[in-house]
Structure 1
């Protein structure tokens, strides 16, 4: 623009008004094109930056969602492991207590001349049964039930019993479950 003005630079008196107007129009057109080019370039730069920011935001959001899902899975897994650990520890404790309960049952069936002693043993046994109930321990009903190898351990087969074939006709040792988990299967005899 300045070059054009230099080419036609004459003293103002010598230039006609038309020439001056033409010079200003040409200079204004060049300035408008330059401003439009600058605006388009600036718009393209802004659009590119906006696209980059959108991509960065999408990537950060994806990372956040993955991290959140991973944390949620971790939280659920640790809660499940904690419950399993508690359940396994309780089952192991009850399993070690079952022989004591079996001994109590046998001792209550034995003859005893001292009624106070027998009543005391019955009360202690009642407390142990209450403890098992609080711990969600249930006895497996075996006598007369159909034989199920998941809950019964058959150690004998008997013929000529009052029970139907493949049904438990005698219980040697009671079986127990804690919740849905088997602690000890019942040792039984099965009718054939």
Structure 2
């Protein structure tokens, strides 16, 4: 068996070493390009991560501010009610004046409730609803429809449709 020598190679074609060197150069170029893309992707990832952290902190701060100042408008409306009560106490001379002042203050408080989405639940005569009412007692009644509210012990309240306190009621039952 004879080993190939320089003369056995074709004169025009590259040798094995030339092909290997060209392949290594191509691989090094591809590796360098891949490393550059990886660095760019890592940079984009780190920026996105930092931006997400900033958004999270901003949202947490906004929620904290919303909680802190959520009752701001409602509190401003109640200040006027307190002022009216104080004036009523100072001016309370006779029962009629005191009653008129109390009615005016109650009207002002009711307006403040309405402006801020606080609604009263007064279910007198309505069908008992366990989602909105709390039965304090059942009372036999011939003049009321069974399971209807015959008496409201304490009114309920809802804030923007969400129940704050159920109305406490007495419910009719068949005699």
TM-score (norm 1): 0.56
In structure 2, C-alpha distance between the alignment counterparts of 1:164 and 1:68, rounded to whole Å: 62
CA distance in 2, matches of 1:80, 1:150: 29
RMSD over aligned Cα, in angstroms?
3.8
Unaligned 5+ runs, structure 2:
1-10, 79-84, 86-93
- How much has 1:123 moved relative to structure 2? 1.1
Query: Is 2:118 the partner of 1:149?
Result: no
- Provide closer, same or farther for how the CA distance between residues 162 and 67 of structure 1 changes in structure 2, counting only shifts above 3 A: farther
Go from structure 1 to structure 2 and tell me whether the alpha carbon gap of 1:82 and 1:69 turns closer, same or farther (over 3 Å shift): same
Partner in structure 2 of residue 135 of structure 1: 116
Q: Which has the higher helix share?
A: 1
Q: 2:34 aligns with which of 47, 51, 69?
A: 51
Q: Deviations over 1:43-100 (max 9, x none)?
A: 321111111222333444445555555655665566556556666x68xx8xxx9xxx
**TM-superposition CA deviations, 1:90-124 (whole Å, max 9, x none):** 8xx8xxx9xxxxxx9xxxxxxxx854433222111
Q: Aligned pair count?
A: 144
C-alpha change, 1:146 and 1:82, in structure 2 (3 Å) is farther
Shift of 1:130: 1.0
Deviations 1:10-40 (A, max 9, x none): xxxxxxxxxxxxxxxx8x988x998876554
- Contact 1:143/1:169 (8 A) holds in 2: yes
**Pair 1:58–1:163, CA change in 2 (3 A):** farther
**Which protein shows a greater Rg?**
1
CA distance in 1, matches of 2:69, 2:160: 12
| Residue number in structure 1 paired with 2:161 | 180
Aligned partners of 1:162, 1:79: CA distance in 2, in Å? Answer: 55
Q: Contact (CA 8 Å) 1:161, 1:169: kept in 2 or not?
A: no
1:125 pairs with 2:138: no
Any gaps of 5 or more consecutive residues in structure 1? 1-25, 98-103, 105-112
Normalised to the residue count of structure 2, the TM-score between the two structures is 0.60
The Cα of 1:172 is off from its aligned counterpart by 1.2
Counterpart of 1:160 in structure 2 is: 141
